[in-house]
Every structure is written in C-alpha cells, then in structure tokens.
Amino acid sequence: MISTTPPKSAFYSTRVDLSLDIRQSIVSMLNETLAATTDLRTQTKQAHWNVKGKDFYQLHLLFDEMAGELEGHSDMIAERVTTLAGTAIGTVRTSASQSTMPEYDFNAVNGMEHVAALADRYAIYARLLRQNTNIADALGDQDTNDLYVEISRTIDKRLWFLEAHLVK
C-alpha cells in the first residue's frame, strides 16, 4: 500500500556529523521551504501563462525565467534534505497544503497586476529565506545556511527586477 502521509521521523543512516535532533529540525524547515518554493514557482508560471498587455512578451519571458530559477532552487533544497538523510516532501499536493504563500489572484490580467502580485509574494519568500538563514546558522549548519544565502541573493535580485517595473 502506498503511504500518503509524509514521514515524521524516518531518517536514514548517515555519516554527516550533525546530530539527529539538528538534522530533524533542519529537514523540517527545508521541507517547509520546499513547499513555499514549489508554490511560488507555480504562481510564477500562472503569471507567465496569463500575462496580457503592452509588455506581454518581455514579462512572459521574465516570468518563465524566474519559474525556472525556482525549479532549480527546489532541487537544491530537496537534495539538501536527502543529504541530511531525511525525506524530501515535494509533491504539488503536499506543497499546496503546507505552503505559507498566499493564493494567487486569478483575476490578474495585465502585466503590472502580475508584476505586483509576484513582487508581494517574492517579498514574503525573501523574508522566509532570511529567517531560515538565521535558524540554520543558530543550529550550526553552515551548509544549509549557505544554501539559504545563495537562494536569498537570487530572490532579492528578482524582487528588484519586479519592483523596477512598478516605478512610475
């Protein structure tokens, strides 16, 4: 029978020198980040598919590029989970039920509506990344800290790109 419940404490044997308690905390945090990342990626694709207006082509390409970056971030996060001997929980259903991101506005049509919606969500995601950077640092996991810093740097840059479109 297939289990549809994410494992709570299934950790595999590893020689990684972080204690089980620390790895469990980090894996839980990473899986929460994975859910938010997957959700943000699908919301960015929602904008990509539905953008209209005079900046259509430019924004269509930008949103697709941003979604691709988020896909890469998801992979890095999930691989860090498994590096710590945990189980990455990254299905779309699980991500949707565990994401802290607000739902996307399906009434958004023109380019700047999508840009504003994504800027709001990228700001929320950036805050989450910074919080988790500090938690990983406090737990002594510099590799996870570095992962969060790397992703945060990219997300801040994308937030800048989005906000630049909103300047009047």
Each residue's pLDDT, cut to its tens digit, for the chain (168 residues) gives: 555 555 655 788 999 999 999 999 999 999 999 999 999 999 999 999 999 999 999 999 999 999 999 999 999 999 999 999 999 999 999 998 999 999 999 999 899 999 999 999 999 999 999 999 999 999 999 999 999 999 999 999 999 999 999 998
pLDDT of residue 168: 86
User: For the chain, which residues make up each domain, given as ranges?
Assistant: 20-166
Q: How many CB atoms lie within 10 A of CB 109?
A: 13
Residues near 4 by Cβ (< 8 Å), separated by ≥ 6?
none
Comparing C-alpha atoms, which of 28, 32, 44 is closest to residue 128?
32
pLDDT of residue 7: 60
pLDDT of residue 123: 98
Three-class SS state of 52? strand
CA dist., res. 50 & res. 120, Å (int): 18
pLDDT of residue 10: 77
Residues near 1 by Cβ (< 8 Å), separated by ≥ 6?
none
CATH of domain 20-166: 1.20.1260.10
